[in-house]
Structure 1
Amino acid sequence: MPSRQPDSHAAPHRPSRRSVLRTGVAAGAVGVTGASTTATSTAATAATAGRPARDGAGRGRSGVRLRWLGIAGWEMTFDGHRLLVDPYLTRQRYTGSDGEGDMTRKLEVDHRIIDRVLSEHLTGAPEFVLLTHGHWDHLADVPHLLDHPAWRDEEINVLGTETHLHLLTAMGVPGKGRKHRPVVVSGGEVLRHPLQPSGKRTRPDYTVEVVRSLHSQLGGYGFDPYGTLTAPPSRPRTLGDLVEGGTLGYQVTVGERLSVMFLSGTANFAAREVSGATPDVLVLGASGHAAVHDYFERAVSALGRPRVIVPSHHDDMVTALDDPAVHETVNRRVVDRLQQVVGAGGHVVDPRHLEPFEL
């Protein structure tokens, strides 16, 4: 089940990732094209005015850009490369008349919004689609995106667990004549792109490291729908047919320039699985952790206190992406809470739907 909002959001020379982050933090702003950052230097002023602290004066210069697709969906672009994490655009209603999650609801696809986002924002096919888990608000649109005329003839690597790939198979992926490549991963893999040429030793443009993770644990210490698969099921018809199937995180490292850790799909993590990782940027699931002890504090500490943190999975999940009101459905209290946790040494970005920002 999705996370609910808490009641308390040999190439040309490029600067190294350390110098980029050091310069950005010293300047008081790390990457805000279409996004806001909260900084300790502005927090006191904003607090006296009764509003969140925001500072959009600076711009990042790493050449690495993120775009929030809503819920837990992200686009990462740099140097002509594109990767997507949990690209779910439909945002269908998932509750019954009582306001509780109704897993018997039929799966829906909003082809109108998919067409619009792919024509106006995601204007090229990704090299990778990275799945964090199998629930509908993460996986359900992937078959339709892969079969979209703009993407169907491209070669796209789709990373997920055995269960995630069985679900995609049941939904028609990769499809007859398609070049898409489902890739089963379980955590621990460090994949390079492009592939190592035979007989040559070259540096990759970037790497994708897969980490084992955990699903959010809500007020009853659990989540729904859970389960794993060892073979493709019947074609999924309802929200409940898309089971969790294991949860993953991903760290994308762009040479010596920048590393971004996506623990973005849930509000939980396995500390021992990320021990020793020190990403420059952490994209962190921010809602639905009522049963997880000291979640924000433990995540920030376990990852070496990243300089930049971007909250994820903290909107209402249902307002259409092209509705101007979608930006007001974000739980910005989590933005403020995260800034309290990171303190003076870091910045929390307050992302806006579909608006890219440079790190």
Structure 2
Amino acid sequence: MLRTTMAAGLAGAAALATAGTAQATTSNAMAPVPNGGTGVRLRWLGIAGWEMVFDGHRLLVDPYLTRQQYAGPDGTADLQRPLEVNKRIIDWVLSEHVTGAPEFILATHGHWDHLADVPTLLNHPKWNGRRIRVLGGETHLNLVRAMGIPAAREADLVLVTGGEYLRYPLRSPEKPRPDYTIEVFRSLHSQLGSYGFAPAGTLTSRPKKPATIGELVEGGTLGYQITVADRLRVMFLSGTANFAEREVAGARPDVLVLGASGNAGVHDYFERALQALGWPRIVIPCHHDDMVTALDNPEVHNTVNREVVATLQGILGNRGRVLDPRHLEQFEL
């Protein structure tokens, strides 16, 4: 998501809390809230990035670790700012936190703060020889190609558009049932106080190598739901603070990872998302930090807009709970 201030998210959220609390107190008895023991662990990588680990499997969503400065002197996004890659931070995270290669990288959209580190990760020596499939839209995959990946990884760029229901591993006599599934949902980008966002656009072919953050265009937005065997459903509407309500109709995740800022132009965003998804038992906000403080700086935890946690809990009420994740700290669902 491209945003200029964290206040944009609060503008769209604060008005929902009172009405949401009133509705929640009259809700039916809720299902038990998971309190660990599922074997499914999440780690917030900052902004909209996530690691999900279970049963020897690992998936990453929007793994952006560089956290470069993006604003100009006036505090608004400078789309002409040169792209940066912080290889020191990437090396550190892969050595100390994300200590194995994923089976899948799931891209929600093309903006730099979601996609820009993916090629560097795919080229990283720690991941050499490991098969990693990247799921994304046409624009997202064209940007990954343009930023440079090994030729051997081209075949593992997997085009998805929304509606796909994938299983892992592939069906075989030895594996009639999957270890997990990935559902892909068409989604929407956040709409800020101006009702728009930037940089917008799509790419139907590989562009020249991007040099600025503005060249990483949105290219459509996706959401994902990962179902671990028959025990837990985790939905990532994490890349933006908007969603396509009719696209997720009928989905009932146990855990919802929800983009939390930049929704000033979206009507009743939090309340509509929770209601459309059947009031998930656990809600985890993200994309509510300052986007630039380095991950190895202890102050990064203090850049989070934690008013979002209280707002979401007020809407969810006694139906479930809202977690307050800390950067790079793994927790079990």
Match of 1:181 among 156, 172, 175: 156
The 1-side partners of 2:190 and 2:151 are apart by: 36
**Partner secondary structure for residue 37 of structure 2:** coil
Give the TM-score normalised by the residue count of structure 1. 0.85
1:2 to 2:37 alignment: no
Q: CA RMSD in A?
A: 1.5
Q: Which ranges in structure 1 are unaligned for 5 or more consecutive residues?
A: 10-20, 32-59
Q: Identify the residue that residue 70 of structure 1 maps to in structure 2.
A: 46
The 2-side partners of 1:213 and 1:179 are apart by: 25
Contact 2:169 2:175 in 1 (8 A): no
Q: Identify the residue that residue 44 of structure 1 maps to in structure 2.
A: none
Deviations 1:215-244 (A, max 9, x none): 000011000000001100000000000000
Match of 2:87 among 111, 121, 128: 111
Q: Identify the residue that residue 309 of structure 2 maps to in structure 1.
A: 335
Q: Identify the residue that residue 203 of structure 2 maps to in structure 1.
A: 229
Q: Identify the residue that residue 101 of structure 1 maps to in structure 2.
A: 77
The 2-side partners of 1:321 and 1:215 are apart by: 25
Contact 1:156 1:179 in 2 (8 A): no
1:168 to 2:150 alignment: no
Q: Percent identity?
A: 67
| Alignment of structure 1 residues 8-23 onto 2, 5 Å | 8=10, 22-23=31-32
Match of 1:156 among 107, 125, 132: 132
Contact 2:227 2:233 in 1 (8 A): yes
Deviation of 1:179 after TM superposition, in Å, equals 7.3
Give, as a single letter, the amino acid of the residue that structure 2 aligns with 1:344. N
The 2-side partners of 1:176 and 1:128 are apart by: 18
1:192 to 2:167 alignment: yes
The 2-side partners of 1:196 and 1:137 are apart by: 35
Q: Identify the residue that residue 54 of structure 1 maps to in structure 2.
A: none
Contact 2:43 2:51 in 1 (8 A): yes
Deviation of 1:201 after TM superposition, in Å, equals 6.6
Contact 1:155 1:179 in 2 (8 A): no
The 1-side partners of 2:144 and 2:232 are apart by: 31
The 1-side partners of 2:50 and 2:324 are apart by: 14
Give, as a single letter, the amino acid of the residue that structure 1 aligns with 2:293. T
Deviation of 1:152 after TM superposition, in Å, equals 2.6
Give, as a single letter, the amino acid of the residue that structure 2 aligns with 1:191. L
**Partner secondary structure for residue 73 of structure 2:** coil
Distance 1:98 1:167, change over 3 A: same
Deviation of 1:172 after TM superposition, in Å, equals 1.5
1:323 to 2:323 alignment: no
1:244 to 2:245 alignment: no
Deviation of 1:196 after TM superposition, in Å, equals 1.0
Q: Identify the residue that residue 314 of structure 1 maps to in structure 2.
A: 288
Contact 1:95 1:101 in 2 (8 A): yes
**Partner secondary structure for residue 350 of structure 1:** coil
Q: Identify the residue that residue 228 of structure 2 maps to in structure 1.
A: 254
Deviations 1:167-221 (A, max 9, x none): 1111123x13447610000000000000112x67700000000000000000110
Contact 1:154 1:179 in 2 (8 A): no
Q: Number of paired residues?
A: 313
Deviations 1:227-269 (A, max 9, x none): 0011000000000000000000000001110000000000000
Deviation of 1:80 after TM superposition, in Å, equals 0.5
